[in-house]
Amino acid sequence: MAIARKIAYNVIFNVIAKILSTILALVGIGFITRYLGTNGFGDYSTVFGFFTFFGSIADWDFILLRRVRFSRPGADEKKILGNAFSLRLISSVVVFIITPCLYFFFPILMM
């Protein structure tokens, strides 16, 4: 019964945390919208979407890759972590270089 109680506690805690984070996000969006106005909030949304999109490209789900590799028997953890770190670093640098270039090649996207 102790495990069921721990599971129930964790589920309740996660539900409450999700509700509170949603409320705080809505309040924060309300403040940002009122402060920036219609045009400013549109610019904010564009920039936020831009960074989210390219941030997810830079990540490329390397966490899942590590989990799959670690789960194999006889996995070399140091080699896997080194490779994952190198891939993530390289992809982040490439995205960091390419992203500002989009502004110069496609300035209409940044309006």
pLDDT in tens, 52-88: 887 777 676 667 777 777 777 877 878 877 888 888 8
Within a domain: 64: yes
Considering the domain architecture, whether residues 45 and 69 belong to the same structural domain is answered as no
CA gap 9, 6 in Å, rounded: 5
> What residues make up the domain containing 39?
1-50
- What total of structural domains would you count in the chain? 2
* Contact (CB, 8 A) for 23 and 60: no
Question: What pLDDT, in 10s, does the model give residues 14-67?
Answer: 999 999 999 999 999 999 999 999 888 988 888 888 778 877 776 766 677 777
The Cα 10–Cα 87 span in angstroms is 35
Token pair recorded at residue 67: 């989990």
CB atoms near residue 58 (< 10 Å): 19
Neighbouring C-beta atoms of residue 32, cutoff 10 Å: 14
Residues 8 and 43 in one domain: yes
Shared domain check, 108 and 68: yes
